[in-house]
Chains A and B, each alone.
Chain A
Amino acid sequence: MTNTLSRAVGSPLARLEGPAKVSGAARYAAEYPQDQMAYAWIVPSPVPRGRLDAVLTDPAEEDDVLVVLWHGNAPHLEKSDDPELAVLQSDRIAYRGQPVALVVARTLEGARRAAQVVQLDITAEDHDVELRADHPDLHTPDEVVPGVPADTATGDVDAALATAPATVDVTYSTPALHNNPMEPHATIARWDGEDLVLYDSNQHPSGIAKTLGTVFGLPAERVHVIAEHIGGGFGSKGSARPNAVLAAMGSWVTGRPVQLALPRQAMFSMVGHRAPTVQRIRIGASLDGELTAIDHESWTQTSRLFEFVESPGVVTRSMYPVPNLRTSHRVVPLDVPTPRWMRGPGEAPGMVALECALDELAIRLDLDPVELRARSANPGYLSCLRRGAERFGWSGRDNRPRQRREGDWWIGTGMAGATYPANAMPSTARVRALGHDGYEVAIGAADLGTGARTILAQIAADELGVPVDDVHIRIGDSTLPVASVAGGSSGSASWGWAVTGACRALRESGDDEATFDTTELVGKMPTDRHAYGAHFAEVRVDAVTGEVRVSRLFGMYDTGRILNPRTARSQFIGGMVMGIGMALHEESVLDPALGAWVNHDLAEYHIPAHADVEQIDAEWLDEPAADLNPMGAKGIGEIGIVGSPAAIVNAVWHATGVRIRDLPVRLDKLLPSL
C-alpha cells in the first residue's frame, strides 16, 4: 500500500552504525568496563569421555585466583531444554573440550595461567568419535528440525531408478566445519541484586534472557541481555552458549562482574559447528534430462548431550519437482561436541551432493548443466539460471573437461542452483513519537552485520512517511519488545513485519505509542515458499601444485524485494566467500585417538583470506514476494553459501577432469590426477 510512495526502502543507505564501527567506538560484548571486574577462563576436558572425580587446585601458587568452580562446588542450576547449559553440574564428560571447571581471577593473565595448571583427577573411558555410514548406533531421528520429518518418500523410487535410462549413484561427504565468527563468544555478567545483567555476544537477546532466566530460576524480565554490536555469529550465537551461564555463575559466586571471552580454541568445542555428513545420492533421468527419481540418503553425527541433526536431504524435497523422491537421515551420537546451526544448516551440505550429482548427470547425458536444470526449474529459479548465465558469460562453454590451459593453470567453469526457505517468526515492535525528535522504534532484534538496524530504519521511515534521520532504532537489548532470533535468514522479514505493523498502528491510532505483535499474521503465512538462485564459478587449478583459485564467482538471486541493495550485496557476497571456504579450505580434523579437533585455531583451520577472493559479485531479480510479508522480502543471509561450493567443485572438474567428492577440494586430492 505504501510501496509506491516509498523512498527509503530499496535505497542503498549506508549502515547506520558504520561511523561507530570504523572509528572503534562500536562496543562488543567484552568491551563494557566494569568496576572490580574479574576474569574467567574455562578448563576444558582433556578427554572425550569419562568422569571428573576431583579438581585439585593450589590457590597459593596463583594468588590472584578468586575461585575455581567445578561440579563439586558450583551452584545448582535449573534444567533448561539445552543440556549443554547444565555446566559444572555433573561429573560426566561428554566430549573433549567440554568445560569441566571455571577459574575466576582478578586478572586475565592469572585466570589463563590458573586454568592451565589446574589439576584434574579424571577417569577416562573408551570413546568413539568416528562417523561411519555403517555405524551400528545410527538411528532415524524423530524429526530433523521441529516439524520436519527425517524421512520422506513419494512414488516408487526403486522402480524408477531401475528403469531410468540414465542414472548417477554417487556418495559425497562434507567435513565438520566451524562457524568461527571473528568475535569469539564473550559475556560480561553482573548481578544487580537479584537481577542478572549480561553483555553477551549473541543473535537473540530475547531468547537468551529467557533461557538464562530458566537456568537461574528467574523470570525472563529479571535478566537483562545487551548485545548492541555482535562480531558475527553465522548460527553459533543463535541460542545461549555455556559462556553466558559460566560468566553469570562466576559473578554470582565472586560478587564481582565477570568477563568470560572464549579463546579461539574453545570456539571449536563448546559453541557448535556444522556436523560432518556422508550423503549418497541417486538420480534417475530420461535421456533428455527430465528428472524421474531422486534418492538422497544422509548420515551424520551428534553429541551424547543433545541431538542436533544436520539435514542435507531436506533441500532435495523442494528444489526440483521429481515424481519419485525419497530422502532419509540417520544420525549417530558420538563422544564429540554438539553440532548446531551453521549458515545454511542442511542446505549448504545438501546442495553440495545434489548439485554436484546433477553436474555428473549432465556430463553423462552430454547436456549443458544450465539446460539440465532449466528443464525442472520454477519461474524464479529459471530467471536466475538464464540471467545468471548471461551475466557470467556462460554460453558457448565447451562442456568437455580439461580443455583450457593458460601457462601452468587449468581453467574451467561450473555452476549450481541455490535455494533457501522464506521464513518469518513472531516478533513484537514498539514505536514512539518523540515530537520534534522524530520516532523511536524499539525491538529486541540483533544486528550481526546483516544491516538489520539500517533496514528497520528504512522500513519505519517509509511507513511513518518521514526521513530516515528521524527514526531512532533501538535493538540489541532484551528489555525491548520480544523479537525472534537473527537466524534462518528471517530477521528482516520477521522484524520488518513487526515494525511495519507498529508504525501503521501508530498512524492509524494517532497515539504517541504503538506496539505490534506479528504472532497471528506469521501463523497464516505460506510455509512452502523459497528463495532461489544460481551460482557460477570460474576456477584455475595449478597443474604444478594442484592449488585452486576462484577467479570469478557470480550469484544471481530471486530473493523477493531487496530492502537495501548495498547491505544485501554484502550479505550475498559474504555468503559466497564462505562458500569458497567450504569448497576449498575449511575442514575440522578430528583425531580419532584423542577425540580432539586438532586444527583448532585460525592458523590451521583456514577460512578464506583476502587473496582467496578475486572477482565476485551478486545481482538479483528484485521481484517482491507480496504474499509473504508487507515488505515482500525473502531472506538473503544464507543463500550465498548454498550451492556456491557445488559450483566451485563442478568448475574444478571442468578445469581438470578430476571429480572430487569429499570436501574440501585440496591440492593433495587433486595432485595425483593432474
Chain B
Amino acid sequence: MRLTVNGAQHHLVGLDPRTTLLDVLRERLHLTGAKKGCDHGQCGACTVLLDGRRVNSCLILAITQPDARVTTVEGLGHRGEPHPVQQGFLEHDGFQCGYCTPGQICSAVGMLDEVAQGWPSAVTESDSEDLLADAEIRERMSGNLCRCGAYPNMVPAIREAAGR
C-alpha cells in the first residue's frame, strides 16, 4: 500500500489491517509528532491532516487510506521556517508539556481552512459574524484536550496565525 506523508511516498509492505494510521506514523515511519493520548478519538492528540482535513488518526485504519495524502506536524512549515500557527504557539507560550501540541497545531491549521470555507460552528449565530472570535476559536478547537491547561495562550496564537 502507498501512503504519501508530508510529500514523501511510502510503500507499506505487510501492513496488518488492524494498524491505525497513527501507529503507522509512529511505529513504522517514526513520525512521532502525532501523539497518542487516548487511542479512541477522545483527546485530539493524534490529529493530522488527511487530504487537507483534520482527523483523529487513531480511529483510522491505515488500510482504508490507499493513496491518501497525510500531513503531520513534521510536515508543516518549510525548511526550518515554522508555520504561522507553530510560530504563534511559540510566541504565546501555547503549551507546557507539549504533548497535546502537535495535535493542537494540526487541528488549528485544519480549522483555519474550515473557517476560510465559511463553515459554521456550534456557537455561530449568524453568517455575518466573526468566525474567529475567541468563543469561535475555543469551540472549534474543543476537540483537542490539553491537561496542562494552556488553552488561553493558544487562542491568540491561532488568531494571529490567521492574520487577525
Q: Do chains A and B touch in the complex (CB under 8 A)?
A: yes
Are the C-beta atoms of B37 and A183 separated by less than 8 Å? yes
Known A-B contacts A31-B26, A109-B18; the reply to A182 vs B40 at CB < 8 A is no
Residues of A517-551 at the interface with B, using a CB-CB cut-off of 8 Å, are none
Are the C-beta atoms of B37 and A18 separated by less than 8 Å? no
Known A-B contacts A31-B26, A109-B19, A231-B99; the reply to A24 vs B147 at CB < 8 A is no
Which residues of A lie under 8 Å from residue B23 when comparing CB positions?
108-109
Are the C-beta atoms of B40 and A264 separated by less than 8 Å? yes
Are the C-beta atoms of A22 and B151 separated by less than 8 Å? no
B-contact bits for A582-607, CB 8 A (1 contact / 0 none):
00000000000000000001110001
Checking A566, A574, A611 against B138 with a beta-carbon cut-off of 8 angstroms, the contacting residue is: A611
Cα-based distance from A608 to B142 in the complex (angstroms):
9
Are the C-beta atoms of B40 and A613 separated by less than 8 Å? no
Checking A24, A30, A230, A601 against B72 with a beta-carbon cut-off of 8 angstroms, the contacting residue is: A24
Are the C-beta atoms of A19 and B148 separated by less than 8 Å? no
In the complex, whether A36 has a CB less than 8 A from a CB of chain B is no
Checking B35, B38, B150 against A574 with a beta-carbon cut-off of 8 angstroms, the contacting residue is: B150
Cα-based distance from A180 to B43 in the complex (angstroms):
11
Residues of B89-119 at the interface with A, using a CB-CB cut-off of 8 Å, are 89-91, 93, 95-102, 105
In the complex, whether A67 has a CB less than 8 A from a CB of chain B is no
Which residues of A lie under 8 Å from residue B91 when comparing CB positions?
14
In the complex, whether A449 has a CB less than 8 A from a CB of chain B is yes
In the complex, whether A4 has a CB less than 8 A from a CB of chain B is no
Checking B26, B36, B141, B147 against A610 with a beta-carbon cut-off of 8 angstroms, the contacting residue is: B141
Are the C-beta atoms of B95 and A182 separated by less than 8 Å? no
In the complex, residue of chain B having the shortest beta-carbon distance to the beta carbon of A31? B32
In the complex, residue of chain B having the shortest beta-carbon distance to the beta carbon of A109? B18
Checking B45, B96, B138, B147 against A450 with a beta-carbon cut-off of 8 angstroms, the contacting residue is: B96
In the complex, whether B12 has a CB less than 8 A from a CB of chain A is no
Are the C-beta atoms of A182 and B45 separated by less than 8 Å? yes
Are the C-beta atoms of B42 and A229 separated by less than 8 Å? no
A-contact bits for B18-42, CB 8 A (1 contact / 0 none):
1100010011001111111111111
Known A-B contacts A22-B89, A570-B93, A610-B141; the reply to A616 vs B147 at CB < 8 A is no
- In the assembled complex, the CB of A602 is this many whole angstroms from the nearest CB of chain B, namely 4
In the complex, whether B145 has a CB less than 8 A from a CB of chain A is yes
In the complex, residue of chain A having the shortest beta-carbon distance to the beta carbon of B73? A24
Are the C-beta atoms of B147 and A181 separated by less than 8 Å? yes
Are the C-beta atoms of B90 and A33 separated by less than 8 Å? no
- Which secondary structure characterizes the binding site on chain B? loop
In the complex, whether B82 has a CB less than 8 A from a CB of chain A is yes
Known A-B contacts A23-B86, A27-B32, A448-B97; the reply to A607 vs B73 at CB < 8 A is no
Cα-based distance from A199 to B100 in the complex (angstroms):
20
- In the assembled complex, the CB of B162 is this many whole angstroms from the nearest CB of chain A, namely 16
In the complex, whether B57 has a CB less than 8 A from a CB of chain A is no
- In the assembled complex, the CB of A227 is this many whole angstroms from the nearest CB of chain B, namely 12
Which residues of A lie under 8 Å from residue B98 when comparing CB positions?
17, 21-22, 26, 229, 231, 449
Cα-based distance from A578 to B148 in the complex (angstroms):
8
- In the assembled complex, the CB of B146 is this many whole angstroms from the nearest CB of chain A, namely 7
Are the C-beta atoms of A264 and B38 separated by less than 8 Å? yes
Which residues of B lie under 8 Å from residue A180 when comparing CB positions?
147
Cα-based distance from A607 to B26 in the complex (angstroms):
26
B-contact bits for A607-639, CB 8 A (1 contact / 0 none):
111110110110000000000000000000000
Residues of A243-278 at the interface with B, using a CB-CB cut-off of 8 Å, are 261, 263-264
Which residues of A lie under 8 Å from residue B93 when comparing CB positions?
14-15, 18, 566-567, 569-570
Which residues of A lie under 8 Å from residue B146 when comparing CB positions?
182, 610
Are the C-beta atoms of B152 and A613 separated by less than 8 Å? yes
Interface size for B (C-beta < 8 A) is 60
In the complex, whether B149 has a CB less than 8 A from a CB of chain A is yes
In the complex, residue of chain A having the shortest beta-carbon distance to the beta carbon of B97? A449
Which residues of B lie under 8 Å from residue A613 when comparing CB positions?
138, 149, 151-152
Are the C-beta atoms of B40 and A23 separated by less than 8 Å? no
Which residues of A lie under 8 Å from residue B137 when comparing CB positions?
610
Checking A183, A451, A577 against B35 with a beta-carbon cut-off of 8 angstroms, the contacting residue is: A183
- In the assembled complex, the CB of B93 is this many whole angstroms from the nearest CB of chain A, namely 5
- In the assembled complex, the CB of B87 is this many whole angstroms from the nearest CB of chain A, namely 8
Cα-based distance from A33 to B76 in the complex (angstroms):
23
Which residues of A lie under 8 Å from residue B151 when comparing CB positions?
577, 608, 610, 613
- In the assembled complex, the CB of A591 is this many whole angstroms from the nearest CB of chain B, namely 20
- In the assembled complex, the CB of B24 is this many whole angstroms from the nearest CB of chain A, namely 11
Residues of A4-38 at the interface with B, using a CB-CB cut-off of 8 Å, are 14-15, 17-19, 21-28, 30-31, 33
Cα-based distance from A261 to B147 in the complex (angstroms):
18
- Interface hub of A25, A602, A607 (most chain B Cβ within 10 A): A602
In the complex, whether B130 has a CB less than 8 A from a CB of chain A is no
Which residues of B lie under 8 Å from residue A614 when comparing CB positions?
134-135, 138
In the complex, whether B160 has a CB less than 8 A from a CB of chain A is no
- Interface hub of A14, A109, A261 (most chain B Cβ within 10 A): A109
In the complex, residue of chain B having the shortest beta-carbon distance to the beta carbon of A32? B32
Cα-based distance from A328 to B134 in the complex (angstroms):
46
- Interface hub of B23, B37, B72, B73 (most chain A Cβ within 10 A): B37
In the complex, whether A325 has a CB less than 8 A from a CB of chain B is no
In the A-B complex, the 3 residue pairs with the smallest Cβ-Cβ separation, listed nearest first, are: A24-B33, A577-B149, A231-B99
Q: List 30 A-B contacts (CB under 8 A).
A: A21-B98, A22-B101, A22-B102, A23-B74, A23-B77, A24-B32, A26-B98, A27-B32, A31-B32, A109-B23, A113-B18, A182-B147, A183-B35, A183-B99, A229-B98, A232-B99, A263-B39, A264-B37, A448-B97, A449-B97, A567-B96, A570-B93, A570-B150, A570-B153, A602-B38, A602-B40, A608-B149, A610-B138, A610-B139, A610-B146
